[in-house]
């Protein structure tokens, strides 16, 4: 009991435990690196065997204290250098650490190690164990010499070694998992081993390097790596807050050369843009962009607006209805009573012509195919399921007050992805005009972005979907013909305005000289 009540014994024990753990961390890290060369099922076994052998070796060396003391006796001399048994062990251990650390660094820096490749070649179990034993011998010698220099009580030394190795065994799996999951940490640990190997060789030649210098360098490097890991973790956490669809879209946009920020405006296109130009044709980039933006588009941005709907008034005469059907290239028509907001049904033009020839009642005929009405707030992706159920018929879009806002067909969704397919009586929304473009006021902003290869027109919080809506929002009032609106890097000139509508706009790119002249 007097032995246990001695404070110096407890202080020495605690101090020695801490030192043994510190000295054993390098051993544990290198064991983790070596164990990673084995198949996953054998790694835990190799790690436990390696640490157990290290424990046995340290206890054995502690039991041979008298032999350890004699290791410092000079054996031979070469020139001005005198070597003892301890010096030879340090030299061989340092050379072994330099060789292994250098070869491991070479594999990782040259990309020869691929943990994700199931066909990778694994090392033999016993070859790894032998390397661990050699490593244990080097690190155990250093740890035992430290223990002998601090405490004179053999029982205290053995107790400290057992406790320290037990704690390392408990933490070995978590440390191994962390080291193998962070390639930069592995490179940093291998660099530490290079430093330790050099210090062992220097001590073998009689040049003592204070441990404080090594620990200070290692501590500073660990601090820098800690900051690096924190920054990486915060970056990953920030990325994880973005929806998966948005992250995927951003990645493919970058691959295609598209940019959602203004960092490269007016600058030389980055290399990834050049790669995208070689990888994706223009039409392919256009369609990929259309698919990725489809979910973020409103129904208003793809529908045919109310003002452009061709509908049949059932109150008109048969001859007038027949002439309307023959003069209009559309194949589907809403049948209404005097107003578009009173839709009876949606019919095919050819079926309606046959019904007129047979003298059938138009209202009764239209009621057989009632309209499919969806709210304008519906998601475009959900609309696809409605269009499938419509079996080729158009879908009517209504607002919360029951007022018809437009209609949607499968062709409208296809145009949102692949671009316009104008009818015979239509002209394209955007046409090339000299060094710029001539666009209709009702041009969808997503389609305009794709055509102009820009990503700065659509705002997720905006309540407009057309070019006219964007210009009205920017101007704050109804613009007049000839008015110019600057929205870098684009210049918009109002060409035609009629009945409080922007009919056509000329768009051009701003060059630096033009921008300065506009500001003046």
Backbone angles phi, psi at 492, to 5 degrees: -115, 125
Detail the DSSP E strand segments found in 220-277. Answer: none
Strand, helix or coil for residue 82: strand
In this structure, the number of other CB atoms found within 10 A of the CB of residue 324 comes to 16
Query: Among 375, 391, 249, 245, which residue's Cα sits nearest to residue 303?
Result: 375
Query: Among 30, 21, 349, which residue's Cα sits nearest to residue 176?
Result: 30
d(CA 311, CA 331): 11
d(CA 494, CA 492): 7
Give whole-number Cα distances, 72 to 89, 157, 355, in Å: 11, 20, 114
Amino acid 153: pLDDT: 67
**What does the block give as tokens for 169?**
């065994």
Query: Among 52, 180, 202, which residue's Cα sits nearest to residue 104?
Result: 180
User: Which residue(s) pair with 440 in the sheet?
Assistant: 504
The one-character DSSP state at 300 is G
d(CA 143, CA 161): 9
Helix, strand, coil percent values for the chain (each to nearest 5): 60, 15, 30
**What does the block give as tokens for 106?**
């070479």
Is 349 within 8 Å of 331 (Cβ atoms)? yes
Amino acid 268: pLDDT: 45
Show the 3-state SS of 426-447: CCCCEEEECCEEEEECCCEHHH
Give whole-number Cα distances, 509 to 149, 180, 264, in Å: 78, 51, 15
Beta strand 312-313 with 332-337: parallel, antiparallel or unpaired? parallel
The one-character DSSP state at 124 is P
Task: Find out whether the peptide bond into 347 is cis, omega within 30 degrees of 0.
Answer: no
pLDDT in tens, the chain (520 residues): 444 556 666 666 676 676 666 556 666 767 777 777 777 777 778 778 877 877 787 777 777 755 655 567 777 888 888 888 778 877 877 787 788 778 777 876 776 544 444 444 566 777 777 777 777 666 666 566 555 545 556 677 778 778 877 877 777 777 667 766 777 777 777 777 788 778 878 888 888 777 667 767 777 887 888 888 888 888 777 766 666 656 666 666 665 555 444 444 444 444 444 444 445 566 676 777 777 777 778 888 889 889 889 999 999 999 999 999 988 888 899 999 989 999 999 999 999 999 999 999 999 999 999 999 999 988 888 898 899 888 878 899 999 888 999 999 988 888 888 877 776 666 788 888 888 899 988 888 877 887 787 777 877 677 788 888 889 888 888 888 899 998 888 899 999 998 778 989 999 988 765 544 444 4
Give whole-number Cα distances, 418 to 81, 284, 288, in Å: 80, 9, 9
Strand, helix or coil for residue 312: strand
Q: What angle do CA 484, 490, 494 make, to 5 degrees?
A: 30
Instruction: Please state the pTM of the whole predicted model.
Output: 0.45
């Amino acid at each position: 009991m007097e032995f246990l009540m001695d404070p110096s014994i407890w202080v020495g024990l605690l101090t020695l435990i801490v030192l043994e753990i510190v000295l054993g961390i390098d051993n544990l890290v290198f064991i983790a690196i070596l164990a990673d060369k084995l198949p996953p099922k054998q790694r835990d076994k190799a790690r436990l065997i390696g640490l157990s052998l290290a424990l046995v070796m340290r206890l054995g060396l502690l039991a041979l204290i008298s032999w350890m003391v004699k290791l410092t006796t000079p054996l031979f001399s070469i020139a001005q250098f005198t070597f003892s048994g301890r010096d030879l062990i340090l030299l061989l251990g340092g050379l072994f650490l330099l060789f292994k650390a250098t070869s491991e660094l070479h594999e990782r820096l040259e990309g020869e190690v691929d943990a994700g490749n199931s066909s990778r070649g694994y090392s033999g179990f016993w070859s790894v164990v032998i390397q661990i034993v050699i490593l244990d011998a080097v690190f155990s010698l250093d740890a035992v010499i430290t223990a002998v220099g601090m405490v004179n009580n053999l029982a205290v030394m053995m107790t400290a070694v057992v406790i320290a190795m037990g704690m390392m065994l408990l933490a070995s799996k978590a440390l191994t998992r962390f080291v193998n999951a962070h390639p930069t940490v592995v490179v940093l640990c291998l660099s530490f081993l290079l430093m330790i190997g050099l210090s062992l060789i220097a001590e073998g030649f009689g040049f003592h390097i204070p441990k404080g210098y090594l620990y200070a360098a290692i501590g500073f490097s660990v601090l820098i790596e800690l900051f690096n890991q924190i920054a990486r973790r915060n970056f990953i956490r920030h990325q994880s807050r973005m929806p998966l669809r948005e992250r995927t879209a951003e990645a493919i946009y970058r691959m295609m050369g598209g940019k959602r920020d203004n960092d490269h405006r007016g600058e030389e296109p980055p290399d990834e843009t050049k790669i995208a130009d070689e990888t994706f044709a223009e039409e392919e980039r256009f369609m990929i962009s259309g698919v990725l933006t489809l979910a973020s588009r409103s129904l208003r941005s793809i529908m045919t607006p109310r003002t452009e709907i061709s509908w049949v008034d059932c109150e008109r005469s048969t001859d007038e209805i027949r002439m309307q059907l023959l003069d209009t290239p559309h194949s589907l028509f809403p049948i209404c009573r005097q107003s578009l907001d009173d839709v009876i049904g949606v019919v095919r033009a050819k079926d309606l012509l046959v019904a007129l020839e047979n003298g059938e009642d138009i209202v009764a005929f239209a009621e057989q195919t009632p309209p499919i009405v969806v709210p304008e707030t519906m998601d475009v992706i959900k609309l696809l399921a409605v269009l499938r159920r419509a079996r080729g018929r158009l879908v009517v879009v209504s607002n919360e007050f029951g007022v018809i806002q437009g209609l949607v067909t499968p062709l409208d969704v296809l145009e949102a992805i692949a671009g316009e397919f104008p009818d015979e009586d239509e002209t394209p929304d955007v046409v090339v005009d000299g060094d710029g473009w001539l666009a209709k006021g009702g041009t969808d902003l997503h389609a305009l972005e794709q055509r102009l290869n820009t990503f700065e027109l659509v705002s997720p919080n905006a309540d407009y979907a057309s070019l006219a809506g964007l210009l009205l929002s920017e101007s704050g009032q109804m613009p007049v013909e000839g008015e110019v609106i600057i929205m870098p890097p684009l210049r918009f000139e109002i060409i035609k305005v009629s009945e409080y509508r922007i009919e056509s706009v000329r768009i051009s790119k701003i060059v630096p000289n033009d921008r300065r002249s506009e500001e003046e």
